[in-house]
Every structure is written in C-alpha cells, then in structure tokens.
C-alpha cells in the first residue's frame, strides 16, 4: 500500500520559555506542500530567514541540537523534531519569534498535542524513506558510545544509557514501532544531575529552567542548605531527595524515563536526515554530538526509496 506524505491541516501555536535563554516567545506550526520537509522560520529577524532542518545545518550540539544558516539560529530543536517524526509529519513550516524552542515540561508531549490539534493532512505525493541496506556504525571510545543501524522494514530503536552512578546506572528503552511514540516516548522529560545545576546557572545556560521541566537526580548527599540554595535560585519551595535519588519536584512516568528521553532525543536528531528511516537502531550511551555525527555518516551511505 502506497503511503502519502503528510502535513498539517491548519496552523497551531505554542507559547513558552526557552530553557537556556529564558526568553518567552511563540512557535507556530504551519502546513507546507509536498517535498518541503521541516523548516524553521525566524519571524523575529530581518528578512525572516528560513532554516532547513537538515543535518548539514547543525552548528552546535552543546546541551542540545542547534541548527543555523547565515547567522540565523534555532536552538534545542530535538524535542519538536521528534514530535514531527513520531507523528509521521513529513512537511511543515515552523515559525518562531525567538531563537530557542520553548522547553515546556522538557518532553515532546505538548508538541504532539499541538500536531493533533492542527490535524494531519495527506498530500498527493508518495512518502520517501531512507532505506538502510547495510549495517552502519559509529564509535566514540572516549565517551564509551556506540551506535549502529541495521536493515529493517520499519523504524525501531533500542537505546541504553549508563551514567555509572548509583542513582542512574544502566537503563534501556525500546521502541519497536513508530506507533508507540505518542504514549510511550513523547511524555518523557529531560533530566539532569543536581550538581550540574549550579554550574549551568552560573554559566547562564538554563535561564528558563525550573524544577518542573527536568527530572533531577542526586548522585551524592548534599547538605540541606545547599539544596535550599538551589531551590531558591529556581524560586521553588524547599526540596528533598526521594529514596530513589530523585528530587521530589516530580514523579517519574516510567521507571526508565531517562532512557526513553534519550531515545526521544535520538529520534529528533536522526530526523535531521530530512526523511524517515527504515532501519533498526541500537545505541549505547548516545548524545546529541554522537547522534548528529551518526546521521552525517548515514547521509553519506544511504539511498532514498519510495514506499511501494
């Protein structure tokens, strides 16, 4: 059965704050024609430049994936890109009046909800896939990272993380089919270690962060006054550590939510190949740098096919 490319039925907007810049803004998902792909339009800049969401435009992977061309940038695109891939959207124009995607709760569920609100429309064009015909792998020894993709008739991922910590050791998340994304992957939030927060704040890296958009792990005991200081910085009530080493600011949706979020990140980064993939991905200790380098490697070796 022939699959058709898709776009949105109508426009839909999301407002929120950027995690690292702290700036408030609005993002609008707009319908786009066949073979348009996913593009970002910076409506706040002179000339309203458009940036293609493709691997060639990745300019930074420092705590998030950033794309840019000719001085125009969009930061932290991985969650929204995962939402478009997970909901099988091939074509959309994303208008943005800020340089960073709103963080919302640190997951992709708000973007999924927006896509559902806008509606999904089939277009009169066949969907093209990147079909993996041979095993492709990458290793980054200094980070103990290994990612491999093997031929498959569908897109699936098996992602393992290991932070070598008592509170966050080895975890694995599996998505056997893209249909599982909405319920099992999209709600999964980003995470951080408590000792990282002060450094990030002092380096102006999470101006828009609070204790509602991240799972916070505590891998060593801290005096309560230090935790109180951090909660004051976030303008939150005093916090404590639960028995599983997680701050009591929120509860986990899944025991392996961090691994599921890393799977979500990988989906978003791999969608920068510009088309959906048919292949089975196995990843050990992935991250944005490794994900995008792996995507570059795939782009050198792939063939694009229509779904017949």
Q: Hey, what's the torsion of the CAs at 127, 130, 131, 136, to 10 degrees?
A: -170
| CA 4 centroid distance within chain | 25
CA atoms within 13 A on the CB side of 1: 2
Nearest to 266 by CA among 153, 170, 145: 145
261, 280, 288, 289: the active-site residue: 288
Q: Is 288 a catalytic residue?
A: yes
3-state secondary structure of 125: strand
From the centroid of its chain, how far is CA 137?
21
Inter-residue contact 200 to 210 (CB < 8 Å) = no
Radius of gyration of the chain (CA): 19
Q: Give the active site residues.
A: 288
């Amino acid at each position: 059965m022939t699959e058709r490319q898709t776009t949105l039925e109508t426009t839909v907007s999301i407002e929120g704050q950027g995690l690292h810049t702290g700036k408030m803004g609005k993002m609008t998902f707009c319908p786009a024609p066949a073979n348009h792909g996913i593009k970002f339009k910076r409506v706040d800049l002179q000339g309203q430049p458009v940036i293609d969401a493709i691997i060639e435009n990745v300019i930074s992977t420092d705590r998030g994936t950033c794309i840019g061309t000719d001085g125009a940038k969009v930061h932290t695109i991985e969650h929204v890109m995962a939402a478009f891939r997970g909901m099988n959207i091939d074509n959309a124009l994303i208008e943005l009046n800020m340089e960073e995607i709103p963080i919302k709760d640190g997951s992709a569920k708000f973007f999924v909800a927006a896509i559902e609100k806008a509606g999904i429309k089939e277009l009169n064009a066949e969907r093209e896939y990147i079909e993996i015909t041979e095993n492709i792998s990458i290793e980054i020894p200094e980070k103990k990272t290994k990612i491999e993709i093997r031929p498959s008739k569908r897109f699936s991922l098996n992602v393992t993380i290991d932070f070598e910590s008592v509170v966050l050791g080895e975890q694995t998340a599996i998505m056997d089919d893209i249909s599982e994304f909405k319920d099992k992957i999209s709600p999964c939030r980003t995470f951080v270690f408590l000792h990282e927060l002060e450094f990030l704040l002092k380096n102006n890296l999470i101006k828009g962060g609070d204790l509602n958009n991240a799972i916070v792990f505590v891998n060593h005991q801290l005096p309560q006054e230090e935790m109180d200081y951090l909660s004051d910085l976030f303008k939150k009530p005093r916090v404590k550590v639960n028995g599983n080493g997680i701050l009591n600011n929120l509860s986990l949706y899944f025991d392996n939510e961090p691994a599921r979020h890393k799977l979500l990140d990988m989906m978003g980064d791999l969608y920068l190949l510009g088309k959906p993939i048919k292949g089975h991905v196995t990843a050990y200790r992935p991250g944005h740098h490794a994900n995008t380098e792996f995507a570059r490697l795939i782009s050198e070796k792939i063939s694009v096919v229509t779904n017949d």
